[in-house]
Structure 1
Amino acid sequence: MPTVPHVDDRNGVIVMTAVFTLLIILAVAFRFYARHLTRAGYGADDWLAAAALFFTLALNGIFLGATIEGAITGHSPVRDGWPVTTPLQIVAQKYKYAFQITEKVVFGLVKLSLLFLWKRLFGSSKPFRIVCRVMIPITVAWTLAFLFTTIFQCGTRWTMNWAPIGIFLTQCIESLNVLTVFSVTDILSDLIIIAMPVPVIWRLHQPTRKKIALTSIFLVGFFTIGAGIARTYMYLVTSYDKEDNPDFIADFTLCILWSEIEANVAMLVCCMPTLAPVIGKFGGRILSSIHTTGSGKGFRLSSGHKRSKATDDGLELPALSNSRRKQSSRLSSDTQLLWQEGHGTVTAAGYANAHGQPSNTPGIMARTDISTTYEVKGSESV
């Protein structure tokens, strides 16, 4: 196996942690704001995301503390191909123990938040509900199994968790094998969870371009899988090839760094599918002054009528029930009617908001009956 490169930029690691911390706080805050905008109500997926945020912030704190003390980006003196025990190595072992316990909770909560979100968005599909009901208890069991295995890896002899490497490896459980299994199953479960909505999306009666756009939102989660693969690779190389990689603290830095990246990216990924209302609100302000796009090219009308449940939950997805498929004439705030000069008659009347009175809401408001020769083109039911 090759010798892995070392990470020595302590200031860069601190800046990275600070940026991640800001981003995940904003992501969860906007998630709850999106629920407020749509009045969809808060669900189990939201509260699980909030709990995951709490533990991810704790994880970032552990990572930042280890970096400030020099345990991350530091180095172990090596003698005869084996790291020499130093006070800094003991400190690194303590941070490693705390980090590995906390990361198990973070990964478990993020996975559960995604599963409950999928169940909320695609719950009208019975086969999909069954898959969710199977994956949720499996994820809970996976999380608890590795959490307690990590906590009691040295039994109740707590000081053994930060003993010199030689003693730790001989007196505690086979931590190398446990972490290998954890890393591999973490990647596999992420792959299953992220890919779950894709078949449902492609069974919808929607244009291919819209299916691709929706699928791309979920496949952003592959960034998390990529970070997990990098973490697993670094772990395998540094743990099973000590002859070429004897610097314990430098190896510890690489493994913890990729776990830190994976945890924070996972937090962002689990919030992204819920942020459409927030993006639409701020994007709508920019576009609200545009009433037409030119003669013959069409324009957009907005309405405050009720939306589908999937839209309330933050995604612009078509309803899956037959009754909603039949509502082809209903206007909603997430429906675009593109009208082009041609043949036929289109009529519409009313205010853009649900109360029938003018308001300061951005968008086009109309009270005038429209009756002219236009052809409806590309109209879809949501």
Structure 2
Amino acid sequence: MTYVNAASMSAVGVLFPVLAVLALAVRVYGWRYHSPIFEVDDVLVIPACALTVAAGVALVIRTQTHLIGANSQAESTAAESLKLGKFEYALWIGHVLAIGLIKLTILFMFRRLFKGRAYRTAFDYANWILVTLVALWTVAFLFLDIFACGATPSASWESWNSLRNACIDTFGMQTGCAVFSWVLDLAIFVEPLVMIRTLNMNKKRKIQTSLVFLCSGFAVVAGLLRMILWIQATIQDITRSIITVLGTTFPISDQQGIISVVLFWTYIEIGIGFLVACVPRSAWVLDKVSLGPVLSKLRLLPSSVSLLTKKYRRSPRGGKDDMGQTQGSWATTLQPEPSWGHRSNDDVGLVAVNGRV
């Protein structure tokens, strides 16, 4: 194995579930204290998080039991191959559901931010088209993953020969799934970029929006790598003795190594996609984490220390009384202004579209 091994598989299997739970918690906190209106994306993100966490836990468990994250050994038993086939079958079904829910969460989040208020806009139509395409993609490939071997799904994990003879071309099916998924990722990435010119927001909001676009770019790259992997696996003749995917060469008999690479990049796409789906709803919480008061205190600290030192030196008794007075002055200087009951205009919403909030 190269970069995909037991350590890297366990790392992504632990990292993304932890980040997913934290992102969902911040998202819920921001929703509760800023805009407690339950939108469609707030509903879809819950099963998406559950699937993301479940897939990561499954990766870690199967890596620690040496089912994935290593190379197939000559002494591998038929029982181990059977377990690997069942695990792969379940993961393909789960990955379609997870990616589909994540895409729909992002699209409905865009709809909440950019949709027209009084009339239908070009964005409304484009967004509904993408929602429909993602829903069709999810249903179609979920059906194909479940019934790739017809009425006998066990043929997909019983043996390599049964998979080739009793099922449809699963390599071609997964390649088509990855290609269509990446095309949809690209469309979802471009959609808000077209709408950015209509936004009316300050510099802080532009930074937050740029963060969303940057994360979306990472998801597009992850989807692209997974697509390239499947294309390489499909166009190579499986009757040869070796196969090369993403610069890594495996013996064709090394099913464990090949599947580990595919699952690695598939889960990275799921994990990054879920984090992208949570960033906009979490922006309000990030907006409240301001460094302004801290920076103001740091700027005032040298002058306050200098004033304290001078008064201490002028005091004949070591500045006991002046010290107390100076400390009171210091406390007054560094005391942040009270903001109870005050709410800035930035708290109204993440963006204003065409001058309307």
Same fold (TM over 0.5): yes
| Residues in 1 aligned to 2:354 and 2:338: alpha-carbon distance in whole angstroms | 24
Q: Does 1:236 pair with 2:228?
A: no
SS at match of 1:162: helix
Structure 1 residues 158, 118: CA separation in 2 closer, same or farther (over 3 Å shift)?
A: same
Count of residues in Structure 1 that have an aligned counterpart in Structure 2:
305
Structure 1 residues 52, 312: CA separation in 2 closer, same or farther (over 3 Å shift)?
A: farther
Structure 1 residues 70, 312: CA separation in 2 closer, same or farther (over 3 Å shift)?
A: farther
Query: Which residue in the other structure is 1:17 paired with?
Result: 13
| Residues in 2 aligned to 1:46 and 1:26: alpha-carbon distance in whole angstroms | 15
Structure 1 residues 64, 290: CA separation in 2 closer, same or farther (over 3 Å shift)?
A: closer
Which structure: larger Rg? 2
| Residues in 2 aligned to 1:157 and 1:307: alpha-carbon distance in whole angstroms | 60
Structure 1 residues 307, 287: CA separation in 2 closer, same or farther (over 3 Å shift)?
A: closer
Q: Does 1:123 pair with 2:115?
A: yes
- The correspondence for 1:72, drawn from 68, 72, 80, is 68
Q: Which amino acid aligns with 1:258?
A: W
SS at match of 2:100: helix
1:156-187 Cα shifts (integer Å, max 9, x gaps): 21321212112211110111111111000000
Q: Does 1:199 pair with 2:233?
A: no
Determine if contact 1:6/1:250 at 8 Å carries over to the other structure: no
Using the TM superposition, name which of 211-220 and 201-210 deviates more: 201-210
Query: Which residue in the other structure is 1:253 paired with?
Result: 260
Query: Which residue in the other structure is 2:305 paired with?
Result: none
Query: Which residue in the other structure is 1:155 paired with?
Result: 150
Greater fraction helix: 2
Determine if contact 1:52/1:267 at 8 Å carries over to the other structure: yes
Alignment RMSD, CA only? 3.0
| Residues in 2 aligned to 1:84 and 1:233: alpha-carbon distance in whole angstroms | 29
Using the TM superposition, name which of 135-144 and 21-30 deviates more: 135-144
Q: Does 1:272 pair with 2:282?
A: no
Give unmatched runs, 5+ long, in structure 1.
Answer: 295-299, 325-382
Q: CA deviation at 1:193?
A: 1.0
Determine if contact 1:201/1:211 at 8 Å carries over to the other structure: no
Q: Does 1:57 pair with 2:15?
A: no
Q: CA deviation at 1:130?
A: 1.7
TM-score by length of 2: 0.76
- The correspondence for 1:287, drawn from 292, 301, 325, is 292
Q: Does 1:217 pair with 2:191?
A: no
Determine if contact 2:107/2:131 at 8 Å carries over to the other structure: yes
- For CA contacts below 8 A with separation 6 or more, give which structure has more relative contact order: 2
SS at match of 1:157: coil
Determine if contact 1:218/1:273 at 8 Å carries over to the other structure: no
| Residues in 1 aligned to 2:50 and 2:256: alpha-carbon distance in whole angstroms | 27
Structure 1 residues 164, 214: CA separation in 2 closer, same or farther (over 3 Å shift)?
A: same
Query: Which residue in the other structure is 1:320 paired with?
Result: 354
Q: CA deviation at 1:231?
A: 1.6
Determine if contact 1:114/1:270 at 8 Å carries over to the other structure: yes
Determine if contact 1:27/1:268 at 8 Å carries over to the other structure: yes
Q: Does 1:132 pair with 2:127?
A: yes
Query: Which residue in the other structure is 1:44 paired with?
Result: 40
Determine if contact 1:202/1:211 at 8 Å carries over to the other structure: no
Query: Which residue in the other structure is 1:164 paired with?
Result: 159
Q: CA deviation at 1:233?
A: 2.2
Using the TM superposition, name which of 229-238 and 51-60 deviates more: 229-238
Q: CA deviation at 1:235?
A: 2.5
Determine if contact 1:63/1:99 at 8 Å carries over to the other structure: no
Determine if contact 1:37/1:277 at 8 Å carries over to the other structure: no
SS at match of 1:75: coil
Structure 1 residues 301, 183: CA separation in 2 closer, same or farther (over 3 Å shift)?
A: farther
Structure 1 residues 45, 85: CA separation in 2 closer, same or farther (over 3 Å shift)?
A: same
1:303-351 Cα shifts (integer Å, max 9, x gaps): 834757xx655x3x234246x6xxxxxxxxxxxxxxxxxxxxxxxxxxx
SS at match of 2:154: helix
- The correspondence for 1:31, drawn from 27, 33, 36, is 27
